[in-house]
Amino acid sequence: MLTRELPTRFLPLVRLAMDCVDCVVDITTSLTEQQVRSLLVDLGAIAGIYLWRTDKDSRHHFFVQFNDLKSVTNACALSSPHLDVHSLVAESDVADRFRSIVQGTCEAPLALEDPLHTSTSNSSVDPLEAEPLGSSKRKRTRRAGVRLRLRQAMNTDLDFDKAALPPGPPALDSALKSRNGSSIAFPVTPADLILTSRLRSSVDKENYPQQSGHIASSPLPVPAVSTRRLPAPLMISGGQLSCNGSTIPSGLPNLQSTLVLSLCGESISYDLNTLDDNPEAIINLLTTTGSDRGKWMIVGAFYRRKGKVAAAAAVISAMINGIVLPQTSWRIPGTDQTPPIVMKSHGMADKDMSPAFLMLATCETELGRQARSRGGEETIESTAHLEQARFWLQNVYGSGTSGQRLEAAVLRSSQGKGGTRNGPLPGSGAQLAEQRILRDLQQNDASELLALRVDKRRLEDQYSHERVQRRKLEASVQDLKKELMKSRQLESSALEQVRAEVEARRGAEERAKKERDMRLRLEAEWDRMREKEEKNQSDVEVIFKDLAAIFQRAANGDPASVSNLLPRRTSSHRP
């Protein structure tokens, strides 16, 4: 393992960080690293904070290492819906991931040297290819070994989707300040760096220009972002592990999203993430506060990063040429002074404005590409932007006129002396300018390729997410189809039951009708019989009444009534 090659003073710290996971917690939150640190600073001494993953919902996963177990207990007590805190004691897989991060940190090639003695002059050079300025030759075996150890160290972190980005080294910031008078920081997304470290190989290293170690001998251009991804840094402070600052100069400027301005003796913090698409407000603010060129370049870089190329060009143009404002419409608050012209007020020469000219050239080039027709043909607007980009590049690298005049003078002198010339002078100014322009275009193409690769990776992630969602929806559709079939079966059975009930109801209605007809017929027959019986009963009553009257008269001695009761003899019965 590479840990055996580390200096002896690093080995106890490596074993301490890899074995002592009792003092490490895993935090899931949407807060930033600074906010997490300010939230946990009162719980105890923090040895290090490592960002090891970022979810799609912008929730970050941090490994926070404390110096004692009491701080871990206090941190676990802070768990809430917005802050999820877990100890690594019961989570072996997460603990192994933490050990791999610490191991990858300690296996960084530059940890073999003392990072505290890194000079300012070579801090912006690629740390893997930096060498002392006085040496004229490098050992190939040492360089090959460093590259091999770099690949091994970087392969330990390829399992993570997103890892922590080390902040820019202080040496780079001091170099930028000493050269430009201010610190210029350009924000870089973690996905860009991770994707670059995975895709770059030793075969295409010629496509990525190397930076020169002699920074002071040439004008400082716009600082390029290092595309190498190093593991989380290892800081040595009092025998504890810390990630407050990086000891490995990665060539990255600090990520800065807040701009501090001074107005009337008061400090103003301006969040660059809230910049408007119209740069007029920020230009007025920068001019009012008399900001230095570093802050102007930061604002322009933020606009350039957001894709607002026209706004970035407007900011840089206002920085170079100043803005023309009515004397009565706007003045510096609290005074009667008008805003000064930025560069001229500082006495800047054209040769000191090379970074601004280069940024304007890239912005104009991008605007020219955007102004082309759909078929890729040049238009009047795109041609104007490209001519403007050429103008700014000529201000930096020269127009080539001096080289042509020198070549003509040499030809005339050689012809006057009778000499002959076999070909053009090598290394003329026009050729050098053309080479630099092509190199800049190659760098732009490389950056665009990296951006396209980042977009490709993002689209692939979205594709996998959409595929999972599609499978879930297909499963839901299958469940709905099954439920539909069951519903149809239930509907068929219900219809059969309804038909049976209708038939039964019809039969019952027919039977009820028959019973009703029979009842009516019986009722009519019963009425006739009752009427007949009542009639017979009335006849009997009349007879009994007549008999009663006869018996009454007979009882009273009326012989006529008795004779009436006796049968009468007819003449046919006489002898």
DSSP 523-561: HHHHHHHHHHHHHHHHHHHHHHHHHHHHHHHHHTT-HHH
CA distance 349 to 320: 10
Query: 263 in helix, strand or coil?
Result: strand
Confirm whether 440 is domain-assigned. yes
Asked if residue 305 lies in contact with residue 186, where contact means CB atoms within 8 angstroms, the answer is yes
Confirm whether 116 is domain-assigned. yes
Asked if residue 262 lies in contact with residue 289, where contact means CB atoms within 8 angstroms, the answer is yes
* Six-digit token string for 427: 């290394």
CA distance 200 to 195: 9
CATH of the domain at 15: 3.30.70.330
Q: Which domain holds residue 503?
A: 429-565
Confirm whether 136 is domain-assigned. no
CA distance 351 to 357: 10
Confirm whether 278 is domain-assigned. no
Confirm whether 395 is domain-assigned. no
Confirm whether 95 is domain-assigned. yes
HSE-up (13 A, CA, CB side) for residue 105: 33
Confirm whether 396 is domain-assigned. no
Contacts with 380 (C-beta within 8 Å, 6 or more apart), sequence order: none
Give kind and range of the element (H or E) at residue 37: helix 33-40
CA distance 545 to 450: 136
DSSP state of 64: E
Asked if residue 157 lies in contact with residue 116, where contact means CB atoms within 8 angstroms, the answer is no
Per-residue pLDDT of the chain (575 residues; tens, 9 = 90+): 333 344 444 444 444 554 567 889 899 998 888 888 888 888 888 888 888 888 878 788 888 988 888 888 888 888 787 788 888 887 777 888 888 887 765 544 433 444 334 333 333 334 333 344 444 444 445 455 545 554 554 444 434 333 333 344 443 344 334 433 433 333 333 333 333 333 344 434 434 444 333 333 333 333 333 333 333 333 333 333 333 333 333 444 445 678 888 888 788 888 888 888 888 888 888 888 888 888 888 988 889 888 888 999 899 888 887 654 433 333 434 444 444 445 655 566 777 778 888 888 889 898 888 888 888 788 888 888 898 888 888 888 877 554 455 455 444 544 444 444 444 444 456 788 888 888 888 888 988 999 999 999 999 999 999 999 999 999 999 999 999 999 999 999 999 999 999 999 999 999 999 999 999 999 999 999 989 888 888 888 888 888 888 888 888 877 666 666 655 555 554 44
CA distance 445 to 451: 10
Confirm whether 132 is domain-assigned. no
Number of domains in the chain: 2
Give kind and range of the element (H or E) at residue 458: helix 429-555
> Which of 318, 289, 288, 314 minimizes the C-alpha distance to 303?
314
